[in-house]
Structure 1
Amino acid sequence: MRGGRSIAERAGSRPLRRAAAVLIAAVALLTGLLVAGPSASAADLPYGPYTCAAGYVWREAYTGDQICVTSAIRTQTATENTLGPSRREPNGGAYGPDTCKQGYVWRATRPSDHVCVPPASRDQAYSDNASAPYRLVDPGATPRGGVSVTTSYIYSTGGYLYATGSGLTPNGTVRFYAVRINTTGPLSLNSLTADASGRLTDWQPVAFLACRTGLTEPAIIVVLDQGTGLVTTAGTTDAFRHCG
C-alpha cells in the first residue's frame, strides 16, 4: 500500500480500588463529569486518521501497519521481511519454529512480529512505536479504542483523569496524551501498565490536569499502546478549562 506516504511525498488494595472505582464512575455519571464526546473527524485528512506528518510514511511491517516512520526505515523494514526466513534456525529451537539464528532477535513491532532482525532494528521498532502520536497529522482524529476516560474535577483548578479499558498489549505500557490544548504537539500525561489480559481495570488514575486559560474546546485524550504503536482516542475532558 502506498497511501501511507507522508504529505511531503504524496500528501491501594484491590477491594478498596474497586470501591473507589465504583464511586468515581457514579459521581461522574451523576454530575456530568464524564466527558466522552466523539473523536475528531478525519474527513479532511488525505489518507484517513493515520495520515503521517510531513517526512514520514507508513512502516508496513505487516498488513495494516500504519505506524509512521522515515522512508529509510520503511525500506529497511521491507528488506527485513524478505530476509527474515533466512535468519531463522532451520530446525527451530528454544522459541519454537521462529527461533532466530545467533545474532538476531524478533523485531517486535507488535507481539506477533517474529521477523528476525539485528538488535538495533528491534530498538528502532520500539522507538518508532513510542513516537507514534507525534508523527501523525492529527492524533486527535484517530478512532476510539478500547480505553475510556473519566474526569473528577477538583475545585476550580483542573481535575483528575482516570482510565479503564481492554484490548491492549498484555503487560504492556499504555501512554496517555492530551491534544487540542494549544500546544505544538501532543502533551504527554503519564503511563499505565496493562495486566496480563491486556486490561486496565478499576478506573486507574492517570494524572492531574491543571487548568489552562484561553481554551475554547474540551481536550481530546489520546492513548498509545506502545506494544503495537497503535494510537486511538479515549474520549474528552474539560479539566483544562476547569478554571476559577
Structure 2
Amino acid sequence: MHGIGKMATDAGRGTRQRWLAQTLAAVVLLAGLLTVAPPAQAADLPWGPYTCATGYVWREAVPGDQVCVATQTRSETQTENALGPSRREPNGFCKSGFVWRETRPSDLVCVFPSSRDRAYTDNANAPWRLADPGATPRGGVSVSTTNHQLGGYLYATGSGLSPNRPVRFYAVRINTVGPYSLGSLTANSAGAISGWQYVADIRCRSGQTQPAIVVVLDQGSGVVTTAGTTDAFRRCG
C-alpha cells in the first residue's frame, strides 16, 4: 500500500509539472505575440492609418491621395486641378511652360515645373509627416531578415509599386526620432521588386527591446505601407 501511495504521489507531481510547463509555454508565447504586435493601431488615430502629424493635411491631388502636406500646398493643389484643363493641349500634353504634376504616375494635371518639384519632395517626405507610419496597412511588399551575430541582413520582394521609381525602406518604433532609413531599391517596369533583393545590413542598437516595424515608401506615389518586422536591431551578440 505504501508503494501504491508513493506511485500516486509521483504521478500527481508529474501531472502538476506538465501543467506548469504547458502554462509557462503559453505565457511565453503570449508575451512574444504582445511584443511583435505594434503598440498603436490605426483605430487609435483620429483619421485612420494616414492621419497626418500636426501641421499637415492630406494633399488630395487625385482621389485617394493621402500624402501629408502643408495646408497651403493643398489649397494650391486644388487650384491646379481647376486650372489643369486650360493648360493642356488637345493631344493631352501640356502647353508651353507647364509639365505634368506627377504626384503619382496617373496624375497628368499640367502645372508649373516648381509644382512638380514640390510634389516629388512631398512624396519623399511622406513617412515623416504621418502621425504614426507604423500604423499604415500592409502593402504589396514584404521583408525578410537573415540574422547574423550583430544584427541581420534585410531583404524585400513585392509588387503594386510605381514602375521604375524608387522604393525606400524605413524602420519605426526603434529608439530614434522619426523613421530610420534602411536603404532603397527601384521597382521594375512592372512596378515590382522581383525575387528577394538585398536592402540593408542592420546592426543592433543598445536598448532596443522590441522588433522594429519596416515601412515602405513608394516614392512615385508617396504611399506608405508596412512590410513586416525585423528583429535585427536587438540581436546584439
Q: CA deviation at 1:64?
A: 1.2
Please state if 1:240 is matched with 2:221. Answer: no
**Runs of 5+ in structure 2 lacking a partner?**
1-35
2:122 is matched with 128
Q: Cα–Cα, structure 1 residues 148 and 38, in superposed 2: closer, same or farther, change >3 Å?
A: farther
Cα offsets for 1:54-106 (capped at 9, x unmatched): 110000101111000000000000000000000011x32xxxxx210000000
2:58 is matched with 58
Q: CA deviation at 1:41?
A: 1.6
Instruction: State the alpha-carbon separation in 1 of the partners of residues 109 and 219 from structure 2.
Output: 18
Please state if 1:105 is matched with 2:99. Answer: yes
Letter in 1 for 2:151: G
2:83 is matched with 83
Task: Name the Cα RMSD after superposition.
Answer: 1.0
Could you say which structure has the higher helix fraction? Answer: 2
Name which of 113, 117, 122 aligns with 1:119: 113
Taking structure 1 as the reference length, the TM-score comes to 0.81
1:221 is matched with 214
Taking structure 2 as the reference length, the TM-score comes to 0.83
Q: CA deviation at 1:38?
A: 6.0
Higher relative contact order (CA 8 A, sep 6+): 1
Please tell me whether the aligned partners of residues 148 and 163 of structure 1 are also in contact (alpha carbons under 8 angstroms).
yes
Please tell me whether the aligned partners of residues 170 and 195 of structure 1 are also in contact (alpha carbons under 8 angstroms).
yes
Identity, in percent, stands at 69
Q: CA deviation at 1:172?
A: 1.0
**4+ residue stretches of structure 1 with deviation over 2 A?**
37-40
**Runs of 5+ in structure 1 lacking a partner?**
1-36, 93-97
After TM superposition, list the pairs within 5 Å mapping 1:151-190 onto structure 2.
151-155=145-149, 157-190=150-183
2:134 is matched with 140
Aligned residues: 201
Cα offsets for 1:98-124 (capped at 9, x unmatched): 210000000000001000000000000
